[in-house]
Amino acid sequence: MPDHSPLDLARRPRRLRRTPAVRALVEETVLRPQDFIAPLFVVEGKGKPEPIASMPGVFRRSITDLVKECRELAALGIPAVALFPKLDSRRKDAEGTAALHEDALVLRAVRAVKTAVPGLTVITDIALDPYTTHGHDGVLTRTGDDVDNDRTVSILTRMAVLHARAGVDFVAPSDMMDGRVGAIRRALDAAGFTHTGIVAYSAKFASAYYGPFREAVGSAKAAGTHLLGKDTYQLNPANRREALVEAALDAQEGADIVMVKPAGPYLDIIREVRNASDRPVAAYQVSGEYAQLHAAAKLGWLDLARTRHESLLAIKRAGADMILTYFAKDMAVALRG
Ligand code: PBG
């Protein structure tokens, strides 16, 4: 005889958690290799992959090595990569003119990857930060105290057409200038690239989590600080309504996919955009999110494999249809079991 009578409960949710089999049946979110987009860094030359101190396991790669990595990613079921060039500082100037060179590093990288692994979707960033000495995403106004919106947009539209010509599947404007998605869409269409898509960094916040990335592409060094202020164009982390406005504008202007960035600290934004938009939603688990898990794991304070999985599961559960993450390859390997 039990020494107590059972509680009179209409519902006992724990019945659905009793066994692994039942838990599997009621599982709502499942991660697959196809959910991930791998961001990759490319440099000139034929050197060995260069490690990035604050991003263990992430490298700046020569084009040859980049192609090799892309083959491996595709074989593991990763459907897409996002390419970021790191330029030698001597190639940078205040206007970011190297962004419009016909033979720019990123364009050669795109051609090499698309030739070697045609089925892999290639996405490139449209913004001037890898190319400017000041590290901003656009060109500055005459007084030098702000980024000139419209002049930047006209450069970015030309940049997007060059990328389309090199064969990218999607251009990803990450600059947060007003009106750039519409301008890029019109320029692509006028140049005959109606099939080239736009992944808009729509809700991109002025985040301190981009620090390691800025080391990786050298924009922090160019600017003399990891904490480069981009507050006049990137969103205030305090604001949610504004993120929805940006996502709606980008969709109206022709974005095929809208993005939220960073991801983990902005799950509420991912959910709001998912609910408000009929576009697929991408989320970018940025360099600082990656770095913090690695740092804690190195100290023995967190389990890397489990927190990695959980961090990405949370982003998908929040509503992301696809996730840019430096963990893409590790996840694809882990999910294969
Ligand atoms: C710049 C750009 C940034 C990232 C992607 N594109 C950084 C920035 O805005 O300074 C950050 C990605 C990351 O931190 O992983 N256009």
Cβ proximity of 85 and 106 under 8 Å: yes
Beta strands of 219-273 (E only): which ranges? 257-261
Distance CA 294, CA 55 (A): 8
> Tens-digit pLDDT profile for the chain (337 aa)?
678 899 999 999 999 999 999 999 999 999 999 999 999 999 999 999 999 999 999 999 999 999 999 999 999 999 999 999 999 999 999 999 999 999 999 999 999 999 999 999 999 999 999 999 999 999 999 988 899 999 999 999 999 999 999 999 999 999 999 999 999 999 999 999 999 999 999 999 999 999 999 888 877 666 656 556 899 999 999 999 999 999 999 999 999 999 999 999 999 999 999 999 999 999 999 999 999 999 999 999 999 999 999 999 999 999 999 999 999 999 999 999 8
Q: Give the mutation target among 36, 86, 126, 137 for probing the ligand 1 site: most ligand atoms within 8 A of CB.
A: 137
234 CA: nearest ligand 1 atom: 9
Report the catalytic residues: 204, 261
Distance CA 269, CA 82 (A): 22
Q: Give the mutation target among 41, 86, 106, 129 for probing the ligand 1 site: most ligand atoms within 8 A of CB.
A: 129
Fold of 30-336: TIM Barrel (3.20.20)
Nearest residue (by CA) to ligand 1, atom 6, is 174
Residues with CB under 6 A from ligand 1: 125, 127, 129, 137, 174, 210, 213-214, 230, 286-287
Query: Which helix (H) or strand (E) covers residue 12, if one does?
Result: none
- % helix, strand, coil for the chain, step of 5: 45, 15, 40
Decide: residue 24, CB within 10 A, 0-12 exposed, 13-18 middle, 19+ buried.
exposed
Strands 36-42, 50-51: pairing kind? unpaired
Nearest residue (by CA) to ligand 1, atom 12, is 286
Give the pLDDT score at 222: 61
Query: Which helix (H) or strand (E) covers residue 186, if one does?
Result: helix 180-190
CA of 30 to the centre of ligand 1 (A): 27
CA of 11 to the centre of ligand 1 (A): 47
Domain ranges of the chain: 30-336
Nearest residue (by CA) to ligand 1, atom 14, is 210
Helix, coil or strand: residue 38: strand
Distance CA 303, CA 241 (A): 35
Cβ proximity of 120 and 167 under 8 Å: no
Decide: residue 336, CB within 10 A, 0-12 exposed, 13-18 middle, 19+ buried.
exposed
Distance CA 245, CA 234 (A): 13
Q: Give the mutation target among 83, 221, 286 for probing the ligand 1 site: most ligand atoms within 8 A of CB.
A: 286
Distance CA 317, CA 319 (A): 5
Nearest residue (by CA) to ligand 1, atom 2, is 174
Distance CA 251, CA 49 (A): 38
What b/e string do you get for 9-22 counting C-beta neighbours within 10 Å, with b at 16 or more? eeeeeeeeeeeeee
